[in-house]
Amino acid sequence: MTYETILVETFGAVTLITINRPKALNALNSQVCAELVRAFATFEADEAQGCAVLTGSGDKAFAAGADIKEMADKRAAEFFLADFFADWQSRLVKSTRKPWIAAVNGFALGGGCELAMMADFIIAADCAKFGQPEIKLGVAPGMGGSQRLTRAVGKAKAMEMCLTGRMMDAAEAERSGLVTRVVPLKELAEDALRTANLIASMPRMAAMVNKEMVNTAFETTLEQALVSERRLFQILTATQDKAEGMEAFIKKRPAVWQGR
């Protein structure tokens, strides 16, 4: 598979995807979007791969947003008829059932912040900056920013960020629950890959089910989510990995996972 705007590497069971337009601060043009959709589909379909990491090239930006130069001349009908960015919602979020992590190495603004928030969790470099500055362009978030940011950091901060376009630094992002932890920039890739490797070493079906369960918390009522959690738990009890995991614990030996 060849790509021009992203880099895709594998390290054992981990796929590392790097947005590679550093001169444009990794702005998300339509080619980046299409290539990311393909890369995630390939990751999802590859049985050897258990977890992915998405990051940006260079030390300045994860992604500074949708490509403003590309959007500037587009008319409303073009955005509407193409259902702009709908692909990401369905492919990166809904169809990627395996876990993936965003390793945010600098600016994550507008669509870049929204893309990071599509990940299962975010690890941030100490220089990371998050923001939804679309209002300063006369628009608003269009890929889930107003919804995911509000769920992550609460109404007060999300509202202020959307209305003023101010950026949140890494320390505030960690305090506010937007990111799982902050690490020095030079340790970011190693930390994210190590974490992804740990996730990839877990029983595959259980990892997918755990991801689905946590995501359900954001999508339905507590009552329905609890039923869904019980059913998914009950399904996992029928797997070979459940029998193996419990037997290995009792016999005090390492488990050998089958992924089913």
Residues that bind ligand CO8 (CB under 6 A): 24-25, 27, 64-69, 79, 84-85, 107, 109-111, 133-134, 137, 141-143
Of 116 and 199, nearer to ligand CO8 (C-beta) is: 116
Considering the candidates 111, 112, 131, 245, report the single residue annotated as catalytic.
111
Which one is catalytic: 114, 125, 131, 245? Answer: 114
DSSP of the chain: ---SSEEEEEETTEEEEEE--GGGTT-B-HHHHHHHHHHHHHHHH-TT--EEEEEESTTTEEE-SB-HHHHTT--HHHHHHTTTTHHHIIIIIIS--S-EEEEE-SEEETHHHHHHHHSSEEEEETT-EEE-GGGGGT----SSHHHHHHHHH-HHHHHHHHHH---EEHHHHHHTTSSSEEE-HHHHHHHHHHHHHHHHTS-HHHHHHHHHHHHHTTTS-HHHHHHHHHHHHHHHTTSHHHHHHHHHHHTTS-------
* Cβ at position 67, least distance to ligand CO8 in Å: 4
Min separation Cβ 88 and ligand CO8, Å? 10
Q: Which is nearer to ligand CO8, 65 or 99 (CB)?
A: 65
Q: Is residue 196 annotated as a catalytic residue, yes or no?
A: no
Q: Is 134 a catalytic residue?
A: yes
- Return the number of the residue (134 or 241) whose C-beta is nearest ligand CO8: 134
Given the complex with ligand CO8, which of 70 and 229 has the nearer CB atom? 70
Among the options 66, 102, 108, 128, which is catalytic?
66
Shortest distance (Å) from residue 155 CB to ligand CO8: 20
66 catalytic residue (yes or no): yes
Residues designated as active site:
66, 111, 114, 134
